[in-house]
Amino acid sequence: MSAMEQWRQQIEEWVRQQPIEQLYVAVAVLVFTLTFFGLFRMLRRSKSKTVWLAGLSGSGKTVLFYQLRDGSPHLGAVTSMEPNDGTFVLHFELEKKGKLNPVRLVDVPGHSQLRPKLDEFLLHAAGVIFVVDSLEFLPNCRAAAEYLYDILTKMTVVKQRIPILILCNKADKVTAHSKEFIRKQLEKEIDKLRALRSDIPTADLASEYKFGVPGEAFNFSHCRNMVTVAEASGLTGEISQVEQFIRELVKP
């Protein structure tokens, strides 16, 4: 008799000696464990690879989209009412060896008509890049703050703790505002919006999360999700902080 056969017989003998209740429990534990790890692996595989480019019209989202995809700004692109949507390996990684994980990047047009679709856009987002025009920031500060507020207070963003990068684009220009200035101004405007929204009945804001610390001026550290601020230039291709943000969300 081979060693394998002896081992099998010993196992069968041990099983016959065990109370039937213990065997039922052991089988149930085994099934539960296999099911748990199966679901865990499935959820890991299904983790979102989608990053959204949001912001007002003219902030430079489409140029950033093309830089990330092609390494070129594709000047002369026409503003569209439809999102630019593509799944690709980031251009700066094309010469790297080994398997690379593609990213789905969606450039959402900044038209106000599309705001009601925010919930749909954010539902499967791994992260959001909110693009701000550093050159024309002051005239558009209020509008940008309102758009950003709408994103930050969405229950989808809060519950899933979706990271947001506030990207100060066109930072290569001499007259561009610094990211520190832009951050502070956005915080001030959002603080005003928070005060105004606090007077609206809760029933009218069912899909909104009321954030901030009572009695304190708002700052982005009050958000439950991670909010960071960075500078870039889509025109010149200085977008390393954008690439880093994306790759922290969608691992290569």
C-alpha 8: how far from chain center:
52
Q: What's the whole-number mean pLDDT along residues 15-31?
A: 59
Q: What is the pTM of this model?
A: 0.77
pLDDT at 36: 47
* C-alpha to C-alpha distance for 195 and 213, rounded to whole angstroms: 12
List pLDDT tens digits, range 200-233.
554 444 455 677 788 889 999 999 899 999 999 9
Q: What's the whole-number mean pLDDT along residues 173-183?
A: 97
List pLDDT tens digits, range 63-109.
999 999 999 987 655 556 678 899 999 999 988 877 788 999 999 88
Report CA-CA distances (Å) from 133 to 54, 63, 136: 12, 12, 6
C-alpha 7: how far from chain center:
53
Contact 188, 144 (CB under 8 A): no
Side chain identity at residue 206, one-letter code: A
| Lowest-confidence pick of 24-28, 111-115, 150-154, 186-190 | 24-28
